[in-house]
Amino acid sequence: MKNFNIPKILQRPTPLLRRLSGALALTILGTSAGNAIASCEYTINNDWGSGFVASVQVSNDTAQAVSSWQVQWQYSGDNRLVHHWSSELSGNNPYVASNADWNGTLQPGQTAEFGFQGTASGIVEIPQLTGSLCDGGSSSSGGSSSSSSSSSSSSSSSGSSGGTSSSSSSSSGSSSSGSSSGASAENLYSLASFPIGVAVSAGNENRSFLSLPEKQVSIAQHFSQLTAGNIMKMSYLHPQENTYDFANADQLVDWAETSGIGIHGHTFIWHSDYQVPNWMKNYSGDFQAMLNTHVTTIAEHFAGRVDSWDVVNEAIDENQSSCYRNSLFYQRAGSDYLSEAFFAADAADPGAELYYNDYDTEGGNGNKLNCLLQIVDGLLADGVPIDGVGFQMHVQIDWPSTSQMRTAFQAIVDRGLKVKITELDVPVNNPYASTPFPQHTSYTPEVAALQKARYKAIVATYMDVVPPQQRGGITVWGLWDGDSWLLDFNSRQGVDDWPLLFNGPADGPYEEKAALNGVAEALLGQ
């Protein structure tokens, strides 16, 4: 089944009224009378008067591990939930949130967190929480709204201190630094009829979004698809010949499922040395059969739970006359490893869209694009079940030109395949440019405007060239600037950069950048 299916995003709630930034973080402790330590907290992460994003932290302050939990609450006014994540939610004021499959077990001292988005009409409430871990069910409120803590402090808004609710105020003058000229995206994904994705760290990685509630809020608010930046690659999922380790990836996929967000799988086969497990390097049996088993086992495991896969990543070397990179796979199985992988993936999960994914194919490097087309044409001629081409698009602020991108996208469109931008980032400094590097040492409003224009031009080119039914989606490679893999890139010499759609180091503050609005404007055709 290779049809363009109506993306999951259309099953998600319609956008709420325009999001105004200037987040106001209010936390109220779920304490009861006496000396109890709060064990359930209700936090308003974002409040724009007509809607809000909030989260609840459930801590196990008992001496025993628990294997499940439940929290109930009721709004006294008109607040209602429209979207939730990281819990099973039932009811409609009162609400009952139970743990999801993966966050029910809490050791003494551990905390789980779940979140939701809701509507309001002016007053955003902090309700009382009850539940087995909420201090015997007495709980919350009681005025002491420690406006405090945690999350998003983009709020320029003077003295965003904590009167309890009533944050329609937050609309006043809150827009973030010069960014919100033009379209403002309250839910980026809702502006597109195709997936809008983001790559995330998860599992044991630094800055796992599963341990950073603010990331979860931004992801749920703006994105309809996730790619694991690392943890669904070969060495993570298949560390030994007879051992597959799906636990971390399952946690990520479960979170996405609970949140109504899709998954783009990345990737069954990639030559990158750190990604090829040692046992595979030393494999002495039938290499192609072994690779088929690898693809089949992983695709079957996630069947029905991923929208699409990068079946093979970076197989091209345009300096080889064959166009094939002289990878372990090519050496041991010949060029057929590519088509075999698509057949195996298709058989194991016929519902998933299957992509070939590569970098530097978006037009600036003509030889590489030619190799891509040669290989894709060969796959099509052989009846290989390929649905599309993923363009990583780790581009520069000034390279390649949009007309080069246009040519590359068009060539894939002409072959009847989908075009997916799989790993977009736009650093503001180009180490390969003729001008001295770095060109920008700080992220000024001028630099932000330049970057916004570049993001907008890329997305506009995509919208212009790729017809709706051939749009596989657009994914940005990371959420916060501080997450970007480019910061560790040798050629960048440790120079700072700001390549993504949100500012922010690991522990906040974070804020939407002008670039996000650039993407929104292009999606809206503005």
Cα–Cα dist 91/86, whole Å? 16
Cα–Cα dist 199/504, whole Å? 15
* Minimum CB–partner distance for residue 235 and ligand XIL (Å): 11
Q: If DSSP states are collapsed to H, E and C, what string results for 298-336? A: HHHHHCCCCCEEEEEECCECCCCCCCECCCHHHHHHCCH
Residue 232: both structure tokens together = 């669904």
* Minimum CB–partner distance for residue 208 and ligand XIL (Å): 12
* Minimum CB–partner distance for residue 43 and ligand XIL (Å): 29
Task: List residues near ligand XIL by CB under 6 A.
Answer: 229-230, 313, 359, 392, 423, 485
* Minimum CB–partner distance for residue 420 and ligand XIL (Å): 13
The answer to whether the beta carbons of residues 199 and 228 sit under 8 Å apart is yes
Residue with smaller CB distance to ligand XIL, 186 or 483: 483
The answer to whether the beta carbons of residues 30 and 129 sit under 8 Å apart is yes
Residue type, 3: N
* Minimum CB–partner distance for residue 48 and ligand XIL (Å): 32
Q: Which of 369, 363, 375, 433 is nearest to 401 (CA)?
A: 363
Q: Which position has the token pair 């609450």?
A: 73
For the residues of 462-493, what is the DSSP string, one character each? HHHHS-GGGEEEEEES-SBGGG-GGGG-GGGT
Residue with smaller CB distance to ligand XIL, 118 or 197: 197
Residue with smaller CB distance to ligand XIL, 229 or 400: 229
Residue among 113, 205, 214, 314 flagged as catalytic: 314
* Minimum CB–partner distance for residue 219 and ligand XIL (Å): 16
Residue with smaller CB distance to ligand XIL, 48 or 356: 356
DSSP-H helix ranges across 205-320: 213-222, 234-237, 247-258, 278-281, 287-302
Q: What residue number has its CB nearest to ligand XIL?
A: 485
Residue with smaller CB distance to ligand XIL, 125 or 423: 423
Cα–Cα dist 163/166, whole Å? 8
* Minimum CB–partner distance for residue 227 and ligand XIL (Å): 9
What burial letters (b/e) apply to 9-33, b meaning 16+ CB within 10 Å? beebeebbeebbbbbbbbbbbbbbe
Element (H, E) at 244: none
Residue 178: both structure tokens together = 């010069």
Residue 192, CA distances (Å) to 101, 387, 429, 459, 471 in order: 30, 20, 29, 11, 10
Task: Give yes or no: 521 in active site.
Answer: no
Task: Give yes or no: 314 in active site.
Answer: yes
Residue among 423, 511, 512, 521 flagged as catalytic: 423
Active-site residue set: 314, 423
